Amino acid sequence: MSAATFAALLQGFFTDRLLRQMRASPNTVGSYRDTFRLLLRYTAERLGKAPSELSLDDIDPSLVVDFLHRLEAERGNTARTRNNRLAALRSFFRHVQMNEPAHALRCQRILAIPQKRAQKRTIEFLRREEIKALVAAPDPATWIGRRDRTLLLVFVQTGLRVSELTSLRRDSVVLGTGAHVRCDGKGRKRRCTPLRRDAIASLGSWIAEQRSAPDAPLFPSSRGGRMSRDAVERLVAKHAKAAQSTCPSIAEKNITPHVLRHSTAMDLRQQGVDLSVIALWLGHESVETTQMYLHADIGMKERALARTAPIEGKPGRFRPGDALMAYLKSL
């Protein structure tokens, strides 16, 4: 296969497969783009060819496996990030398999590369007193402080993803009876999330102060444009550090925007909200994703344990009576 054909396949994958057929979100397109930029740089370095000169035959399963290993060994990527890169490559080679049957066997071998099992981390979240301290940290005497306080208040009540939060526009907010915010989540699924009275009051004052057009960003940057993900991460980190003076327990946690999303889910769960409702609230594709919040709060487990009766029996420990059994137990 010629280099031009390979380039056409890659371009067709993005323009036809991702954008036209799948209507992938900008975040997905950006993630896949970065994956192929890394792969083509690695392939060019290893084979001594410019990316535009590479053919599909140059990218074999062993090269892909070595590339994934390099992501972990040299770039410090986690298994989860490595799996995301592999998912992008799989999507491309499924596209190639459909359009170039002659390369079906090569594609099948790459599609057979397994994902690596990722270690499940303990979910970190903020408790109510910590959330209150964080929301109170911005200075309401300044424009940025009022913006940040309103943003944080909406953030911890709605549990939006960062991309969903920064995409909110003035007309995404409906105040009055049944007040809520509308957003387009993963898979272009639109959902509405209700607001409490404190968020309604703060948003009402903020919107009145801005007097912006309906399609203007709800939380603009200092230059008036849409805030970036990095800007939101810096904002959260800055106010988390300031909140430590009134709530020292915050210093023990690594607070990120995603931790605020977890905090929303855990607060709902602790109030007895059903997991299916929390899944709808957060925009999860499946309730199985929401199951992780069942394991996060040790307090809930302790309360469940308190309701059980102790088992009567003599304390003891199993001791194998056979050397081979002892060996197997020691593994």
pTM: 0.71
Longest dimension (CA), the chain: 80
Residue 130 to residue 110: CA distance in whole angstroms: 47
> Which pLDDT score, from 0 to 100, does residue 291 have?
75
Catalytic residue among 85, 95, 106, 261: 261
284 is catalytic: yes
Q: For residues 228-241, give the mean pLDDT.
A: 94
Residue 249 to residue 110: CA distance in whole angstroms: 47
In the predicted structure, residue 210 carries a pLDDT above the cut 70: yes
Residue 2: which pLDDT band, with cuts at 50, 70 and 90? very low
Residue 64 to residue 233: CA distance in whole angstroms: 32
Strands ordered across the beta sheet of 180-184: 173-174, 180-184, 190-194
Q: For residues 86-103, give the mean pLDDT.
A: 92
Catalytic residue among 149, 161, 262, 269: 161
> Which pLDDT score, from 0 to 100, does residue 118 have?
74
The string over 40-55, giving b where at least 16 C-beta atoms fall within 10 Å of a residue's C-beta and e elsewhere, is bebbbeeeeeebeebe
Residue 257 to residue 262: CA distance in whole angstroms: 9
95 is catalytic: no
Cβ pair 183, 172 in contact under 8 A: yes
> Which pLDDT score, from 0 to 100, does residue 4 have?
43
3-state secondary structure of 191: strand
197 is catalytic: no
Q: Which residue has the higher pLDDT, 55 or 146?
A: 146
Phi-psi sector, 75: left (phi>0), alpha (psi -120 to 50), beta: alpha
Range scoring the smallest mean pLDDT among 49-53, 137-141, 232-236, 288-292: 288-292
> Which pLDDT score, from 0 to 100, does residue 300 have?
65
Which residue from 188, 155, 149, 176 is spatially nearest to 259, judged by alpha carbons? Answer: 155
Catalytic residue among 186, 191, 226, 253: 186
CA dihedral 61, 63, 66, 70 (to 10 degrees): -130
Q: For residues 111-118, give the mean pLDDT.
A: 90
Q: For residues 143-171, give the mean pLDDT.
A: 94
Q: For residues 116-125, give the mean pLDDT.
A: 80
Q: For residues 125-138, give the mean pLDDT.
A: 94
Catalytic residue among 85, 95, 149, 293: 293
At 2, give phi and psi (nearest 5°): -75, 160
Catalytic residue among 170, 229, 253, 258: 258
pLDDT per residue over 173-209, tens digit each?
Answer: 999 888 999 988 776 778 899 999 999 999 999 999 9
Cβ pair 185, 282 in contact under 8 A: no
Tell me what percent of the residues of the chain surpass a pLDDT of 70.
Answer: 90
Tell me what percent of the residues of the chain surpass a pLDDT of 90.
Answer: 55
186 is catalytic: yes
Which residue from 161, 166, 192, 162 is spatially nearest to 179, judged by alpha carbons? Answer: 192
DSSP conformation letters of 22-40: S---HHHHHHHHHHHHHHH
